């Protein structure tokens, strides 16, 4: 499945040129979202109460949606030049889920693991990971009852804990990897109703050189590259359930954390389901009322609308607000280096221009004079999101097109400028009704490097 022909983010080269020649100005960050000011904190009793409202029948209207297009390049490429990391990983070979396969490859090449230098073992590992081309989701993460489990397996296992029957899952994958992933899921997913949508290549973005021209290949064709996870947004328009849980492929639930993480997912899904029901009730009330009740305005403020106390909304305006997609976003305490996360942002463009609303902001989006605000941030980027949207609902009206992101990378051996579409949970969801809730750190298990897989259980 691919995004529809006329989906979001299919711009002309001239439109892209305008972005490169007039770089994005960055988000206008006002202050961090903190507990009591944009971030909810639920007591243990509240979490238990929400979790107990979890109903397996929700499987008919709730699915899991996982961006899984990323390759394992960054997970392993640092090993090529970091000798200390090479030694650490090779010394930990017996504490890695892919350790046995790695040792077998070393024995096949060198006859034994004894005396094999770390750099040579890691060079062989890099080769076995397709020079970083292996999908991150297919890298072994865990060992469960003597069986190796990768990230796809881990997500499937936890979702089946939540919904033993009628489970629905979407993993976004590159077209070139579709058959490999499909063959694997056929073996492990059982009765799960799974789908593998593909990012539309028409959303790829041409690459800009330092000389101010398009980068071309040996054939003279303009080089294009995927436009970031924001380009996956059109695929959300195609889901056939009204509620989806979104989490990254590398934030796979480990066996030891699975029960606790499932408890929190149950609570968030039930809370979001109740939130959506409140919205439906207010929509019905509004249709019967000649004016916009205060209860609607208060509900919208609690949903992060950023409306002032003296605002007056017509019935049409209020109904339009209530028809927006919604998301309940789980964020964890920022216990490390400050960076991207939930912030109050003055919106540059789109339907919310001028409003100050809760947003996820990447560190690359900060203006230089606003970076000091990151030191006051209390929470990190989204861990889990529960999203509510209508099947087929156009998501384009809710994108802040000013939030394209630009970075410098190396492509075909050259330092170049690359552009990414407004991020999936950043500018891409700018105008969604948004609530942030603090969730425990054990719900956040990212795997950014192969070292993160040592002793992962």
Give the confidence band of 221 by pLDDT, cuts at 50, 70, 90.
very high
Per the document, the length of the chain is: 457
Burial (0-12, 13-18, 19+ Cβ within 10 Å), 379:
buried
d(CA 115, CA 129): 22
> Does the structure show a pLDDT above 50 at 2?
no
Which of the pair, 305 or 289, is modelled with greater confidence?
A: 305
Model pLDDT, residue 293: 84
Helix (H, G, I), strand (E, B) or coil at 9: coil
Identify the bridge partners of residue 388 per DSSP, sorted by sequence position. 243, 326
Residue 166 DSSP class: S
Model pLDDT, residue 7: 54
- Selection from 49, 73, 66 nearest residue 409 by Cα: 73
What does each C-alpha distance from 300 to 153, 311, 385, 434, 444 come to in angstroms?
Answer: 38, 12, 19, 10, 29
Mean pLDDT in residue range 339-363: 93
Share of the chain above pLDDT 90, in %: 80
- Whether residue 158 contacts residue 64, with contact meaning beta carbons closer than 8 Å, is answered with no
Give the confidence band of 1 by pLDDT, cuts at 50, 70, 90.
very low
- Selection from 425, 305, 417, 298 nearest residue 356 by Cα: 305
* Domains of the chain: residue spans and CATH: 13-70+150-453 (3.90.550.10), 75-132 (no CATH)
d(CA 258, CA 269): 16
> Does the structure show a pLDDT above 50 at 254?
yes
Give the confidence band of 4 by pLDDT, cuts at 50, 70, 90.
very low
- Whether residue 270 contacts residue 54, with contact meaning beta carbons closer than 8 Å, is answered with yes
Mean pLDDT in residue range 350-374: 91
Give the confidence band of 5 by pLDDT, cuts at 50, 70, 90.
very low
Mean pLDDT in residue range 75-98: 96
Mean pLDDT in residue range 122-146: 95
Pick from 158-172, 238-252, 332-346, 440-454: least confident: 332-346
Beta strand ranges found along 391-432 (DSSP E): 405-411, 414-420
> Does the structure show a pLDDT above 70 at 433?
yes
Mean pLDDT in residue range 129-146: 95
What's the chain's average pLDDT? 93
Give the confidence band of 3 by pLDDT, cuts at 50, 70, 90.
very low
Pick from 258-262, 333-337, 412-416: least confident: 333-337
């Amino acid at each position: 499945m691919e995004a529809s022909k006329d989906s979001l983010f299919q711009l002309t080269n001239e439109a892209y040129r305008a972005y490169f020649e007039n770089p994005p100005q960055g988000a206008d960050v006002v202050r961090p979202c903190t507990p009591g000011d944009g971030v909810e904190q639920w007591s243990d009793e509240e979490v238990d109460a929400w979790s107990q409202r979890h109903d397996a029948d929700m499987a008919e209207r709730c699915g899991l949606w996982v961006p899984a297009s990323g390759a394992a390049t960054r997970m392993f490429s640092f090993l090529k030049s970091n000798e200390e990391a090479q030694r650490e990983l090779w010394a930990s070979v017996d504490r890695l889920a892919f350790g046995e396969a790695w040792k077998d490859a070393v024995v096949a090449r060198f006859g034994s693991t004894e005396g094999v230098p770390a750099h040579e073992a890691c060079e062989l590992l890099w080769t076995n990971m397709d020079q970083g081309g292996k999908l991150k989701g297919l890298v072994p993460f865990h060992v469960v009852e003597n069986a190796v489990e990768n990230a796809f397996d881990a997500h499937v296992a936890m979702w089946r804990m939540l919904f033993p029957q009628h489970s629905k899952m979407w993993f976004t994958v590159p077209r070139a990897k579709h058959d490999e992933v499909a063959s694997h899921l056929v073996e492990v997913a059982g009765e799960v109703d799974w789908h593998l949508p593909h990012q539309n290549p028409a959303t790829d973005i041409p690459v800009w050189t330092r000389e101010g021209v398009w980068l071309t290949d040996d054939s003279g064709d303009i080089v294009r590259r995927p436009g970031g996870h924001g380009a996956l947004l059109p695929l959300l328009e195609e889901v056939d359930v009204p509620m989806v849980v979104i989490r990254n492929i590398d934030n796979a639930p480990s066996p030891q954390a699975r029960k606790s993480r499932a408890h929190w997912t149950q609570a968030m899904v039930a809370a979001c389901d109740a939130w959506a029901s409140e919205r439906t009730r207010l929509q019905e009330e509004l249709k019967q009322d000649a004016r916009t009740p205060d209860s609607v305005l208060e509900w919208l403020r609690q949903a992060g609308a950023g409306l002032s106390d003296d605002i007056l909304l017509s019935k049409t305006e209020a109904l339009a607000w209530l028809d927006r997609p919604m998301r309940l976003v789980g964020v964890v305490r920022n216990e490390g280096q400050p960076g991207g996360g939930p912030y109050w942002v003055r919106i540059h463009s789109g339907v919310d221009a001028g409003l100050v609303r809760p947003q996820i902001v990447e560190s690359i989006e900060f203006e230089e004079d606003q970076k000091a605000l990151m030191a006051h941030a209390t929470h990190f980027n989204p861990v889990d999101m529960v999203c509510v949207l209508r099947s087929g609902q156009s998501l384009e009206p809710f994108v802040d097109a000013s939030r394209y992101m630009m970075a410098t990378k190396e492509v075909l051996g050259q330092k170049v400028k690359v552009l990414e579409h407004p991020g999936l949970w950043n500018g891409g969801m700018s105008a969604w009704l948004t609530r942030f809730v603090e969730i425990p750190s054990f719900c956040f298990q990212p795997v950014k490097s192969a070292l993160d897989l040592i002793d992962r259980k």
